[in-house]
A = this chain, B = another copy of it.
């Protein structure tokens, strides 16, 4: 709610600092994206955006999502379904989270586990890498689908 304001300011600063411009379309997309919950695909976003302004083109949406990712407002995921999904970027002060994905119904649960984060740093160090980010996804059957199968 005022998360919107905060991220709006963040984006506005990023945009103006680079000589870019804040447009009506970008405002709409940012708003829809932040309201839209987690793990939204581009086609889902496009539908909601067009409910507000039917003239917004998909090229603009793709370009804007790239901008949101670059500016740190959004983060990008590629689960195993061929479409890129976005979610609001996490506040760096919060713990990183990863995903549990149901292979049957597609439900996505989140978890965070400090041990995993620690081990990752350890592994990277052993191989001489400096980590920037990572991705961890667990695939399986969610409780609902499990009980439905049994």
Whether B146 contacts A123 by the Cβ 8 Å rule is no
A92 contacts across to B, CB distance below 8 A: none
Whether B128 contacts A133 by the Cβ 8 Å rule is no
Q: How far is the CA of A32 from the CA of B142 in the complex (A)?
A: 38
Whether A141 contacts B130 by the Cβ 8 Å rule is yes
Which of B115, B127, B140 meets A100, CB within 8 Å?
Answer: B127
- A24 within 8 Å of B (CB atoms): no
Contact residues of A between 116 and 143, Cβ < 8 Å to B: 116, 119-120, 123-124, 126-143
Contact residues of A between 98 and 115, Cβ < 8 Å to B: 100, 102-103, 109, 111, 113, 115
- For A70-108 the 0/1 string (1 means CB < 8 A from B) is 000000001010000000000000000000101100000
